[in-house]
A and B are shown apart, each in its own frame.
Chain A
């Protein structure tokens, strides 16, 4: 089943000085199936952050449409966006974006509290998520007391606790050391196997090699895509590397 459908998405920015037009997205089209794990790769300035912002309804496209489970984002009213985001999406950011005033537990529970969930329900939902991310023991600690990897797992727990239709991750391993990265990616693969749809933006080949499908974006268009097929992570890693080299040397799609 198609969960996300992006059709001919365009985004044009007008720079403040001189009014020059910058086209960040020049017509992006792709779909994501239920239960898929998709990585979007691209260099800085390729338009991947713009794409993610539009998917998250943090920004509006100039033209084109985004549909989540057949419902068009354009149809949503401005004041309902926050609720929609909370109910449908989970976010994992590069910089964790945990609130230092809350313990990890409260950080994780925050989206549920915002959704006015009953107190008893909170605990019930927290337990399995915390267990699957291996942070049960540190729930009462504060963000400044734990490592980067632990913070990111807490952030993932916060994203997952609402049981979102789509988990959006923006460079989730960007601020982590290699060991923490590997651990987080293993967790992502695991939750994907449990049926969670994930869309991850990254420029780390290692991170992308854990996905089922990799989309390459360059100069505002989807340039190429790779399917995992039966490849192992290592094989996919090799394929991604080759593709990136090809992209860098400026070759055309072969």
Chain B
């Protein structure tokens, strides 16, 4: 037979089955487009140059891998649906005298056509949307680039094309094995292959309850962000396993209970729905569980990345009450001396003058930062602790004198509480700067440091010195009476830690009058400050220059990347969900058609048929959505802790982001439901 024959028949078949093929082609094209965009973003040198993002490339590659895996699963899933529907057609060709190798050849031609169409369309979409994507990511990072990029490169075109071609080839191989191994009669009967009512599999039910329960328990009870970070993925996997198990058996269990309840079951609205769902649960459960998990993925990814991104300014503001921190040490003959704050102030002032920047305030801060383990109301050095300790016990303490405290608080910038502390010799004021684990009691009466008991005279809510210690551990601020008291602690920790002990930090914090003006010349200005510092102290010099704008840039770089990835992956998950729903509806529509026709013959009114269909579909549809909502709610505490690691502490913001995401998702989901419900109803009727 001539080749043209196959391609003609193949084209006809695809056209005839367009209800099945068009979504498949669009889905593959969409996935490929996203894959292409992520891959190109990771590889586009100009972009990383312009944005200077260290995260961008790594995260985009990660995203591409995720999409690749998702594509693999989805395409095989869709393929199995397609094959199930078309098996009988191939069987007919076989019966009509086509040899199996000819049927396989026909299948190959069809696969090739759909594959090439999808890949071409996908690449086109990718290239077209690349510019928009690169522009979006530049905007998200507030880089000032307004044009976006065109990028055409053989490598980024060929890699996705090759991967998806291989995927389609794999699907084709599976299909051809199915065809080669089956007898024509079986092929023809493929659609009607009988399914039995599933049994309740108690073992799976128990496994499901246990895994889901432990995943939930972990997410709900985890105390520290550190533990959250370690256990998050384990919890996610537990919940995924639990979801699958419970959908497979739990739904059967519930439906059987409903069925046993005669009053409920023998009702014209419930009976067809319950029996129909129960009968199909075996094949359905996996699809429904997948929808639930994908939906949860959408909700979690979008809500966290959006709230992280919109909380950027917030985060940076809390962490940087001043805009620039400078401290420096000089090493001469093995002794380290810190450069006095007065000369640091001079240097910054002269640099500011050069750039015409007005300084509102410069504050010298002398502080001591020590890390402890907390046990009860005591801060212990590691030498005081025998045996093991857990990272959750770690606490950072920042010590300042009452003098520094009063000075800082006296500034207009900090006037929140003007009272004098008037600390006695063994008295301290105590502040929780970052309390994620809450090791120490809510309001401890006394605090034992280096074996000495201090009375906590006052709990203060705002500590005027901020130091970026990360947020994995608790950070407390302690105000001591005077220089002597500070020296006492300094010497004690020096004795305990030896070479690893902390040094005093003499640093200055600068507040500029016009923050915008500084950020505009930020890079040059900081360079000048460092140059001047080096000029004044030509010896061995170590310094720390921490600026708010650099922090903002870093955070934006990271969260912008997160947000972009969150949106893209969220969209991909959303479309995957829609795709699975669509194919489920279609294939079930064909199966249910006969069933409802029989019911009409027996005397079910058209109105009743519609209602029965409605209640069957609503159950199927909203179960995954409800599951996703519950999962998200259960994940909320652990996500909140993870966000703390990323320095987002604004719970309110996260709550509203999650609720908005949920609302939007539910809306889109319902729209999809209504649309596919119509397709379903048209098929059934």
Which residues of A does B touch, CB under 8 Å? 58, 79, 82-83, 85-87, 89, 91, 93, 97-102, 106, 109-111, 113-117, 119, 122, 142, 144, 158
- List residues of B (210-254) whose CB comes within 8 Å of A's CBs: none
Known: A79-B605, A83-B603, A111-B603. A116 touches B598 (CB 8 A): no
B601 in contact with A114 (CB, 8 Å): no
B268 in contact with A114 (CB, 8 Å): yes
State in angstroms the CA–CA spacing of A100 and B197 once bound together.
Answer: 9
In the complex, how many angstroms separate the beta carbon of A212 from the nearest chain B beta carbon? 27
Interface segment among B94-102, B133-141, B270-278: the answer is B270-278
A102 in contact with B275 (CB, 8 Å): yes
Q: Is B196 an interface residue (CB 8 A)?
A: yes
B603: chain A residues at CB < 8 Å are 82-83, 85-87, 89, 111, 114-115
If A91-B601, A97-B598 are given as contacts, then 4 extra A-B residue pairs at C-beta distance below 8 Å, sorted by A number, are A82-B604, A100-B595, A119-B263, A119-B266
A82 in contact with B267 (CB, 8 Å): no
Q: Is B512 an interface residue (CB 8 A)?
A: no
Q: Is B279 an interface residue (CB 8 A)?
A: yes
State in angstroms the CA–CA spacing of A87 and B603 once bound together.
Answer: 8
A106 in contact with B604 (CB, 8 Å): no
A-B interface, 9 closest residue pairs, ranked by CB to CB distance from nearest: A86-B603, A101-B279, A82-B605, A101-B275, A97-B598, A85-B603, A114-B268, A144-B194, A119-B262
In the complex, how many angstroms separate the beta carbon of A61 from the nearest chain B beta carbon? 19
B196: chain A residues at CB < 8 Å are 142, 144
- Chain B, interface size category, equals 20 to 34
State in angstroms the CA–CA spacing of A158 and B602 once bound together.
Answer: 9
Known: A109-B266, A113-B267. A100 touches B604 (CB 8 A): no
Nearest-CB residue, chain A, relative to B262 = A119
A119: chain B residues at CB < 8 Å are 262-263, 266
Q: Is B12 an interface residue (CB 8 A)?
A: no
Kindly identify which residue among B197, B271, B278, B607 contacts A110, using a CB–CB cutoff of 8 Å. Answer: B271
Kindly identify which residue among A79, A100, A114, A142 contacts B602, using a CB–CB cutoff of 8 Å. Answer: A114
Known: A79-B606, A100-B194. A116 touches B601 (CB 8 A): no
A79 in contact with B268 (CB, 8 Å): no
B268: chain A residues at CB < 8 Å are 113-114, 116
- List residues of B (259-298) whose CB comes within 8 Å of A's CBs: 262-263, 266-268, 271-272, 275-276, 278-279
Kindly identify which residue among A91, A102, A114, A117 contacts B604, using a CB–CB cutoff of 8 Å. Answer: A114
A99 in contact with B595 (CB, 8 Å): yes
A110: chain B residues at CB < 8 Å are 271, 599, 602
A91 in contact with B605 (CB, 8 Å): no
In the complex, how many angstroms separate the beta carbon of B503 from the nearest chain A beta carbon? 77
Q: Is B514 an interface residue (CB 8 A)?
A: no
A111: chain B residues at CB < 8 Å are 602-603
A101 in contact with B595 (CB, 8 Å): yes
In the complex, how many angstroms separate the beta carbon of B393 from the nearest chain A beta carbon? 59
State in angstroms the CA–CA spacing of A79 and B598 once bound together.
Answer: 17
With most chain A CB atoms within 10 A of its CB, the pick from B267, B595, B600, B604 is B604
A79: chain B residues at CB < 8 Å are 605-607
A97: chain B residues at CB < 8 Å are 598, 601-602
B267: chain A residues at CB < 8 Å are 113, 116
In the complex, how many angstroms separate the beta carbon of A105 from the nearest chain B beta carbon? 10
State in angstroms the CA–CA spacing of A19 and B415 once bound together.
Answer: 94
State in angstroms the CA–CA spacing of A98 and B262 once bound together.
Answer: 21
Nearest-CB residue, chain B, relative to A97 = B598
Mask of B570-604 contacts with A, CB within 8 angstroms, 1/0: 00000000000000000000000001001111111
Nearest-CB residue, chain B, relative to A114 = B268
Q: Is B608 an interface residue (CB 8 A)?
A: yes
**8 residue pairs bridging A and B, Cβ less than 8 Å apart:** A79-B605, A79-B607, A91-B601, A91-B602, A99-B598, A106-B271, A106-B275, A110-B602
In the complex, how many angstroms separate the beta carbon of A120 from the nearest chain B beta carbon? 9
B278 in contact with A101 (CB, 8 Å): yes
B263 in contact with A114 (CB, 8 Å): no
State in angstroms the CA–CA spacing of A122 and B266 once bound together.
Answer: 9
With most chain A CB atoms within 10 A of its CB, the pick from B266, B599, B601 is B266
A85: chain B residues at CB < 8 Å are 603
B263: chain A residues at CB < 8 Å are 119
State in angstroms the CA–CA spacing of A82 and B604 once bound together.
Answer: 6
In the complex, how many angstroms separate the beta carbon of B618 from the nearest chain A beta carbon? 18
Nearest-CB residue, chain A, relative to B598 = A97
A91: chain B residues at CB < 8 Å are 601-602
State in angstroms the CA–CA spacing of A100 and B598 once bound together.
Answer: 11
Nearest-CB residue, chain A, relative to B264 = A119
Nearest-CB residue, chain B, relative to A83 = B605
Nearest-CB residue, chain B, relative to A86 = B603
B262: chain A residues at CB < 8 Å are 119
B608 in contact with A114 (CB, 8 Å): yes
Nearest-CB residue, chain A, relative to B259 = A106
Known: A82-B605, A114-B608. A99 touches B194 (CB 8 A): no
A82: chain B residues at CB < 8 Å are 600, 603-606, 608
B197 in contact with A142 (CB, 8 Å): yes
Known: A142-B196, A158-B602. A113 touches B266 (CB 8 A): yes
A106: chain B residues at CB < 8 Å are 271, 275
Mask of B467-497 contacts with A, CB within 8 angstroms, 1/0: 0000000000000000000000000000000
B271 in contact with A113 (CB, 8 Å): yes
In the complex, how many angstroms separate the beta carbon of A59 from the nearest chain B beta carbon? 12
State in angstroms the CA–CA spacing of A98 and B266 once bound together.
Answer: 17
State in angstroms the CA–CA spacing of A116 and B607 once bound together.
Answer: 15
Known: A101-B278, A101-B279, A142-B197. A86 touches B271 (CB 8 A): no
Nearest-CB residue, chain A, relative to B197 = A142
Nearest-CB residue, chain A, relative to B192 = A100
In the complex, how many angstroms separate the beta carbon of B560 from the nearest chain A beta carbon? 52
Known: A113-B267, A144-B194. A86 touches B602 (CB 8 A): yes
